[in-house]
Amino acid sequence: MDAALMAQFWLVAVLLALTPGADWAYAISAGLRARSVVPAVAGMVTGYALVVTLVAVGAGALVTQYPAALTVLTLAGSVYLLHLGITTLVARTEAPSASAEPLGTGPLSQFLRGAGISGINPKGLLLLLALLPQFTSGGGAWSSTTQMFALGSLHVANCAVIYLVVALLAKRILRSRPRISAAVVKVAGILMTLIGASILVEQGLAVL
């Protein structure tokens, strides 16, 4: 597998995990209200692992049967990444806050709710479907499915580390570091925009 593509995807995956959303809100809730943050974070990570498996198997089979589909998915994914970066930049940035939804009464409930937040979220499925194919390469020893699964595993690992840190440092993030979290979001938006634009230009030139 192309090491440069893997490194590039890892950077994008880190930026996405650093952008506050429903996952952050639930992680903060766990940090503030749960006796242990492990069940909630483990649930979110498990949900993403299931989504990665679904996308890798489905998209990998599509690319194997129709090689031109990789180009189409790559172009679509780069446009989507560019869209994410621009909308992140222009959106009003607010300090991340805890979710208003119930956390769950026990570890199993917290785990299942976390898995539902990440695994049954259509945005997460569409995001990985748009991103994973564009960072695979053809003609290598690894199949498209294997490459997507490897890349998706990087994303799952990133989420595990970042959401665990967010949950453990929830009070500091909420009360004493709002400017830092806002700056992280803006930097993530800039980098996602640049990466999306560069991939779009590269793929456009290749098609031409």
Contact call for residues 135 and 9 (beta carbons, < 8 A): yes
With bands split at pLDDT 50, 70 and 90, how would you rate the model's confidence at 45? very high
**pLDDT per residue over 47-87, tens digit each?**
999 888 888 888 777 766 776 766 776 677 677 777 777 87
* Residue 115: HSE in the Cβ half-sphere, 13 Å Cα cutoff: 13
Q: How many domains does the chain have?
A: 1
CA distance 193 to 113: 32
d(CA 27, CA 30): 5
Query: Mean pLDDT, to the nearest integer, of 92-108?
Result: 67
Distance of CA 172 to the CA centre of its chain: 23
Kindly state the average pLDDT of the residues 82-93: 74
Angstrom distance (rounded) from CA 203 to CA 208: 9
pLDDT for the residue numbered 160: 94
Domain that holds residue 53: 3-207
Quote the DSSP letter at residue 132: G
Residue pLDDT, tens place only, 181-192: 667 667 777 876
Q: What tokens were used for 189?
A: 């938006």
Q: Which two tokens stand for residue 61?
A: 């089979």
